[in-house]
Amino acid sequence: MKKFARVIIAVVTLVLCFTLSACGNKYVSHYSAMLMVSTNFSNKASVSFDSFSGTYVIKLKNNSPDEVFLTYEATLGEGNIKVYDDFNDEKLNLFEIEANGSVDGKTETFTGNKTIYIIIESDGKCNDGSFSFALEKSEK
């Protein structure tokens, strides 16, 4: 009976390890935050916080074969944050924002039905931040 119980516990442990792990996720969020509000749809996302430290990952999806570009806006009260994007398995610097800064812009076009990762990484503790991202169809 003890042997059977050990086998059951081992099986349950393995199942939990595989279902709770981040297998398949290219990037993983790990952060501490106070008063953080985030939204994440397939073509737009935003995150605002009172205080933040760590890495926050957003996934956007181009659901059509059309060309799209990424528009972004950000403000930050205190601290330093670097934002990266990854579309073709290459993490590229999108922008950096420092204390009392704001930034807005857009990227070059992305083509294809793929996931676009946005990685927000703080350099220590940051305060009063707001970030928004949206995929928009390219005008030809």
Q: Say which DSSP state 42 is in.
A: S
> d(Cα 130, Cα 35) in Å, to the nearest integer?
12
What's the confidence (pLDDT) of residue 26?
82
Q: How confident is the model at residue 12 (pLDDT cuts 50, 70, 90)?
A: low
Per-residue pLDDT of 38-59, as tens digits, reads 998 888 999 999 999 999 999 9
pLDDT at 14: 53
Q: Report domain 27-137's class.
A: mainly beta
Convert the pLDDT of each residue in 50-109 to its tens digit: 999 999 999 998 887 778 889 999 999 999 999 999 988 889 999 999 999 999 999 887
**DSSP secondary structure letter of residue 107:** -
Name the one residue in this structure whose structure tokens are 């503790």: 125
Per-domain residue ranges of the chain: 27-137
